[in-house]
Amino acid sequence: MEKVLSLFWKFRNNHEHQRKNNRTIDSLSEPELRQVAEYLSFLRFRSRVQRKSSIGEKKLAELYAQFSDDDRQLAEEGIEDYNRDLLAEDNKLPPNVARCG
């Protein structure tokens, strides 16, 4: 019986709270209502984004460690390509423009 009474009071208090909120909402102007709607949309978006990015720092550290050698190798290969592309661009510049290297 106590559980039933407890649920009843929670429902009653929640219902009264909703009526107060409805009175507050009814008193808002159109621009204020738009602001509230935008804010609620933002909160919904943020809750979805936060759930998706729930990977822990420990897991990220493990992934970085796992792929560090591959990353280093790709970076070194990329530097060579980057340098070659810079030199190719320098060769296309007019003679009066300063060149790299």
Residue 99 covered by a domain: no
- What pTM value is reported for the model? 0.32
**Backbone phi, then psi, for 45, in 5-degree steps?**
-60, -45
3-state secondary structure 30-74: HHHHHHHHHHHHHHHHHHHHHHHCCCCHHHHHHHHHHHHHHHHHH
Residue 15 covered by a domain: yes
Same domain, yes or no: 2 and 48: yes
Instruction: From first to last of the 101 residues of the chain, give the pLDDT tens digit.
Output: 566 566 556 666 665 656 665 667 778 788 888 888 888 888 888 877 766 556 788 888 898 899 999 888 888 888 888 888 888 888 887 766 665 65
Same domain, yes or no: 47 and 6: yes
Number of domains in the chain: 2
Same domain, yes or no: 50 and 63: no
Domain span holding position 26? 1-54
Write down the pLDDT at residue 9: 62
Write down the pLDDT at residue 66: 92
